[in-house]
Amino acid sequence: MKLPGGLDLGNIQEMMKQAQQMQEEMQRELQQVRVEASVGGGIVTIAMNGAKEVLDIKLDPETVKSGDVEMLQDLILAAFNEASRKADEKIKGSLGSKLGGLGLPDGMI
């Protein structure tokens, strides 16, 4: 069926189907990406996947015993932010080459 402007509805539906398949594939790939960030000389370590889901948190037991909650909170925040940055870099490197051919702006990859 032709739409005004000469667009073919069949082509649009096929493009939408392909876009959905690409999105599903990207989600699977994001789940496979794994990064780790450690701060404070290993006091806090956070593992995260490419979908920015935290997979693991490791805390140095001695630091927990010290009772310095404020320092521990700061280190957890720093480790999370570092893991998030690493995930972004890894995604941009691995998926960016695939997405670059779509002509998306840099901020979108």
Instruction: Evaluate if pTM is beyond 0.75.
Output: no
CATH number at residue 43: 3.30.1310.10
Reported in sequence order, the residue ranges of 20-88 that DSSP labels E, i.e. its strands, are: 34-39, 44-49, 54-59
Examine the domain organization and report whether 63 and 12 are in the same domain: no
The domain of 96 spans 34-108
CB-facing half-sphere around the CA of 12: CA atoms within 13 A: 8
As given in the structure block, the two tokens for residue 65 are 């015993």
Examine the domain organization and report whether 73 and 101 are in the same domain: yes
- On the question of pLDDT at 30 being above 70, the answer is yes
Residue 8 near residue 2, CB atoms below 8 Å? yes
Look at residue 39 in the predicted model and tell me its pLDDT. 97
Rounded CA separation 77/86 (Å): 14
